[in-house]
Structure 1
Amino acid sequence: MELSQARDIVYQAGLDLVKEGLVARTWGNISLRLDDHSFVITPSGRNYETLTAEEIVAVRINDLTHQGDVKPSSEKGMHAEVYRRRPEINAVVHTHQRHASTVAAARKEVTGLSEDHARLLGKSVRCAAYALPGTKKLMKAAGQALEEGRHAALLANHGALCVGSTMEAAFRVALELEGACESFIAEAFARHYGTRASTMEEMHACYLTTAP
């Protein structure tokens, strides 16, 4: 893919993720594979709504070196790990979306997925072991959580990682994951309390304190 085209796709994806409430301000990061050796990724500490396509950074998969003066996301290694392990994956999105982040904070694997959710996400959504952001430990844990053809993983205390063969596919995974996690939390609440939560805030707060 041409560098300019890839940058435009990542730039637009950032705006779309903000619009859907899946990322905010400078949180999260988005990348797209250029070829077998490199990918482009959002820069470090930039607001999606003021970011320009020219600030999207090209990074080498094997050694994480990059072109230009703009610093790439500190999570570039996690994206590179996915591209190394999964040659069929061409887009990676790291979000801090609300429902998925709540389950990630509880460090739970999302099981019991509906057929529709499982078709897009995989047979379950694993939660990668906790590791500090930007570390090799997190890279490895995230890569392992996405094994066996999965397209989404939770990162303990750190949001979610969604992947796809295209940016559009990765974006659909992020949306599907949010719905799956909302259902997972609601069902856990209902099992524990025998009723449905009256508000989303109540459901999240109680889930984090009672999740088995």
Structure 2
Amino acid sequence: MNQLLEIRKKVVEKGIEMLATNLTVGTWGNISCRVPDQDYVAITPSGMSYDTLVPDDIVVLDLRGNIVNGTRKPSIEVPLHLAIYIAREDVHAIVHTHSAYATAMAVSRKDIPGAVEDLVQIVGGNVRVNEYALPGTEQLGINTVKALQGRNAVLLANHGMLGVGRDLEEALRVCLIVEKSAQITLFAQLMGGVVELSQNDIDGMRNFYLGGYGQRK
């Protein structure tokens, strides 16, 4: 039970960070995290302000979408989150944002090219746009899993963006870097265009991030 409380606290903390870093406004977007050693997911509730959430507001579901702990109505995007967790065992956290520059790319249905080093390191390459589907639908989950293949981020057409990671810290970091890269892409296009990195360079930097970046014990 203490483990579950800690997971819920971390989800609340990331919601506050998401709001503070202008990755969303109001109550939009959502955050979830796997519960270690259990087929459960902790997810933010529907329509509640991030800066007022407490751990008990975070809803715990099984992978079929059944509520196993909590009294709040979960996010409308439960089908989207569960589709990703079922398809990607490497994903342990999801952050879905409505940040301005990434959403501009999503509205124009343009991929964010693999041109910025920190982007390709943490995402694995370019950030694709999924095929449009209405929010809250199973089809949105299907389309997103397809566009997310081999990547840690995806643009949701006419909607926003979504980042995944090995933990909540990484998932939020993905969203921040994608937003910065979307802004850089738009500026670069004003100056004549984007020069993408080669696939060999992308693969090399991705492998470095996974195996050599940061402090290792």
Q: TM-score range by the shorter chain?
A: 0.7 to 0.9
TM-align CA RMSD: 1.4
* 1:113 is the counterpart of 2:91: no
Q: Which moved more, 1:137-146 or 1:1-10?
A: 1-10
- Aligned residue pairs: how many? 190
* 1:132 is the counterpart of 2:134: yes
Alignment-mate amino acid for residue 74 of structure 2: P
Match of 1:60 in 2: 62
SS in 2 for 1:188: helix
Task: Return the TM-score normalized by structure 1.
Answer: 0.86
Alignment-mate amino acid for residue 55 of structure 1: D
Question: Structure 1 residue runs of 4+, over 3 Å off?
Answer: none
**Shift in Å, 1:6:** 0.6
Inter-partner Cα distance in structure 2 for 1:6 and 1:159: 25
SS in 2 for 1:49: helix
SS in 2 for 1:132: coil
Inter-partner Cα distance in structure 2 for 1:74 and 1:60: 15
1:63-102 per-position Cα deviation (integer Å, ceiling 9, x unaligned):
1111343110010111111111111111000000111010
Query: Where do 5+ consecutive residues of structure 1 fail to align?
Result: 193-212
1:28-177 correspondence to structure 2 within 5 Å: 28-35=29-36, 36-61=38-63, 63-67=64-68, 68-148=70-150, 150-177=151-178
Task: Return the TM-score normalized by structure 2.
Answer: 0.84
Query: Where do 5+ consecutive residues of structure 2 fail to align?
Result: 194-217
1:5-32 per-position Cα deviation (integer Å, ceiling 9, x unaligned):
1100000000011110112211000000
Inter-partner Cα distance in structure 2 for 1:114 and 1:45: 34
Inter-partner Cα distance in structure 1 for 2:145 and 2:177: 20
Work out whether residues 31 and 42 of structure 1, in 8 Å CA contact, stay in contact via their aligned partners in 2. yes
* 1:10 is the counterpart of 2:11: yes
Alignment-mate amino acid for residue 115 of structure 2: L
Alignment-mate amino acid for residue 145 of structure 1: A
Match of 2:197 in 1: none
1:160-199 correspondence to structure 2 within 5 Å: 160-191=161-192
Matched-pair identity in %: 37
Work out whether residues 43 and 74 of structure 2, in 8 Å CA contact, stay in contact via their aligned partners in 1. yes
Inter-partner Cα distance in structure 2 for 1:113 and 1:160: 18
